[in-house]
Amino acid sequence: MADPERRQPLLLDEDLLAEDQDDETYSDELQSYRTSLSSTVTDYKWTHGRRFHSYREGTDAFPSLEKVVGNDLSPIQPSWVPPNVEFEVDDVESEWPERPPFDFIHSRYMCGSISDWPKFLRQAYSQTKVGGWAEFQDFHLVNYSEDGTLKEGNNVNKFYELLREACEKINRPVTVGVNLKKWAEDAGFENIEHKVFRLPLGTWPRDPRMKEIGAFNMLQFLEGLEAFSIATFTQVLGWSYEEVQVFLALVRKDAKNRRVHMIHDFHVVYGQRENLVKVTCIPPKIPAMANPKIPTIQLNDGTAFPIIGYGTGTAWFKRGDSPAVNRALVETVKTAVKLGYNHLDGAEGYGTEPELGQAIEESGVSRDELFVTTKVGASVRDIPAAIDASLKKLKLDYVDLFLIHNPFWANTEEELQEAWAAVEKVKASGKARSIGVSNFLKSHLETILKTAKVIPSVNQIEFHPYLQHGDLVPFQESKGIKTVSYGGLIPITRATGGPLDALLSTLAKKYGVNESEILLRWSLERKYVVITTSSKELRLASYLQALTFELTPKEVEEISHLGQQKHYRAFWAGNFASDDRS
């Protein structure tokens, strides 16, 4: 908590004290700070007849930011925001939706809103990119003075005490700042910095910067008083509205008493998500691997299914229904195809079917040499329309595999069975060569098997050593349903620092590959099909080395055994208790 500002107590502006100003003068003084702030914001600059902002003019530190996502519990966001800003209205305490990880996550002023802070930071960690950063800024609402001028009975102090009491009663503490660092460490962040800033209340400090901070802090305190207290004091502490108003008048009066030098602290903690497993990306033996023939397994309907697939979700996921084609994805899919990937995994929900279709068209590879999967998500209640829409976006006449993306939308067994019956019709129509499901648990499979005319060919599930799913896999395999694994690299991407790290590193050295290939090979040794992805050609080429060596049965067993010691579910986690391994 090294903070140079804390070394010396704040010095007082003696001149101001000597003047013994009254309440009205103080209000005028604060008003002048407010005016100075708004004039810097609205001091527009006019060039060639157009108006430009001048507040922090030319200081956009991140001009190439692709997208900024803001989150709020209420739909109160302005519409006049830059085109790369979008808002989501959601509760950050709920499970965060599946999406690509962020380069930077920033949270501020959340005290009084969050009940499970450790979980909040863990969720942030799980959606921070490897190498990315997250920052948490918050108050620690305890009032103090450095010179003993704050005495018992002070109404500002009482206000803080009551606010703390109310917020603790509803399990949303306002004393969070001092804990942020520990929560960040526990969540897994590295390279953590913790800075503490003193916020004086009022213009009493001598130092001009602290005086200004004190003025703004006073303004926000006075203006926020009612917002902080009306609901909490009446609904939680049982006060009447009138009682609160009378008390707030006393609080305002004590807040403006220049002879009492109150301070509270503001904490800033930031940390990085490091890749704990230091993966040395070994250049693949490209000449030997150029255009490898990816082996296939046979599905229960006789279709040949390539055992490694390239996915267009996760890192590529597009938000909203943006019509703009992401050329980077088109080029990467073409690169994947050039490297030998002939199994391409898409979904309605990824928003990337147009890119996949464009890449297939531009790849020059004939349609029958590619195996294309898509999944129905949001349109699951109208499957005939969904497959037509997907085929249109993919610019294809048929897909090789059509999946129901997840079972969690269905409220009744019948709904799931009807959806499966509709998927069977898609196969019968020739619009999909094979059909299957994704993210189904044993109970969901049992439900559709009761009425199915066609047994699903696959169940595509998150599968890796830290999520091995109890008896799901033996069950589905016994029914002839192949296991397709996604998220196979999670032990070295999102769930690093686990019991497998050392073994993966040893095996990577032994076979002259990266940890990623060891993980992919582990799934292949278990006869599963793996779907993976990357935005990098080198890595995509590297993954294919998983086809060039074999793990011994003992090594496979060792990975399985060590993996059982940790549990991590990265996708659809909102549908499961945190310790649910089904």
Ligand X SMILES: NC(=O)c1ccc[n+]([C@@H]2O[C@H](COP(=O)([O-])OP(=O)(O)OC[C@H]3O[C@@H](n4cnc5c(N)ncnc54)[C@H](OP(=O)(O)O)[C@@H]3O)[C@@H](O)[C@H]2O)c1
- Note the residues at the interface with ligand X (CB under 6 A): 130, 275, 279, 311-315, 345, 405, 438-439, 460, 486-490, 492-493, 516, 531-536, 539, 571
Q: Nearest to residue 485, comparing CAs of 410, 419, 546, 538? A: 546
Query: Which residue matches tokens 């391994």?
Result: 581
Smallest separation, CB 486 to ligand X (Å)? 3
Q: How many residues does the chain have?
A: 582
CB of 429 to ligand X, least distance (A): 23
DSSP 8-state code for residue 236: I
Three-class DSSP category at 524: helix
What is the rounded distance in angstroms from the CA atom of residue 453 to the CA atom of residue 468? 29
Report how far residue 437's alpha carbon sits from residue 423's, in angstroms, rounded to the nearest whole number.
10
Q: φ, ψ for residue 208 (rounded to 5)?
A: -60, -40
Shortest separation between residue 377's beta carbon and ligand X, angstroms? 9
Per DSSP bridges, beta strands 45-47 and 50-52 are: antiparallel
Tell whether the torsion through CA atoms of 534, 538, 539 and 543 is positive or negative: positive
CB nearer to ligand X: give 203 or 483. 483
Question: What is the C-alpha to C-alpha distance for residues 136 and 185, in angstroms, rounded to an integer?
Answer: 12
Q: For 206, left (φ over 0), alpha (ψ -120 to 50), or beta?
A: alpha
Q: What is the nearest approach in angstroms of ligand X to the Cβ of residue 146?
A: 47
Strands 304-306 and 296-298: antiparallel
Is 405 among the catalytic positions?
Answer: yes
Nearest to 567 by CA among 475, 487, 468, 493: 468
Active site residue 469: no
- Of 186, 181, 187, 139, give the one whose Cα is nearest residue 270: 181
Q: How far is the CB of 572 from ligand X (least distance, A)?
A: 7
Q: How far apart are CA 207 and CA 16, in angstroms?
A: 12
Contact 388, 395 (CB under 8 A): no
| Options 350, 511, 528, 568, the catalytic residue | 350
Within 10 angstroms of residue 339's Cβ, the number of other Cβ atoms is 19
CB of 130 to ligand X, least distance (A): 4
Q: Which one, 77 or 575, has the nearer CB to ligand X?
A: 575
Decide whether 257 or 505 has the Cβ nearer to ligand X.
505
- For the bound state, the minimum distance from the C-beta of residue 511 to ligand X, rounded and expressed in Å, comes to 15
Of 112 and 313, nearer to ligand X (C-beta) is: 313
User: Of 231 and 502, which CB lies nearer to ligand X in the complex structure?
Assistant: 502
| Smaller CB separation from ligand X, 218 or 513 | 513
Please answer whether residues 228 and 38 qualify as being in contact, where contact means their C-beta atoms are separated by less than 8 angstroms: no
Nearest residue (CB) to ligand X, 7 versus 278: 278
Q: How far is CA 258 from CA 134, 247, 250, in A?
A: 38, 19, 15
Please give the Cα distance from 375 to 383 (Å, whole number): 10
Q: How far is the CB of 85 from ligand X (least distance, A)?
A: 24
**Cβ proximity to ligand X, 249 vs 378, nearer residue:** 378
Residue with tokens 């497998």: 500
Q: Which residue is nearest to ligand X (CB)?
A: 311
Residue 329 has phi, psi (to 5 degrees) of -70, -40
Sign of CA dihedral 40, 43, 47, 50: positive
* Residue tagged active-site, from 140, 261, 405, 464: 405
DSSP state of 471: T
Closer by beta carbon to ligand X, 438 or else 476: 438
Least separation in angstroms between CB 315 and ligand X: 4
Shortest distance in whole angstroms from residue 552 CB to ligand X: 23
Beta strands in 231-351 (DSSP E): 263-272, 296-298, 304-306, 308-311, 343-345
Considering beta carbons, is residue 204 or 486 the nearer one to ligand X? 486
Q: How far is CA 327 from CA 65, 221, 572, in A?
A: 17, 49, 28
Distance CA 529, CA 190 (A): 34
Nearest to 488 by CA among 316, 308, 294, 289: 308
Write out the catalytic residue numbers: 350, 405
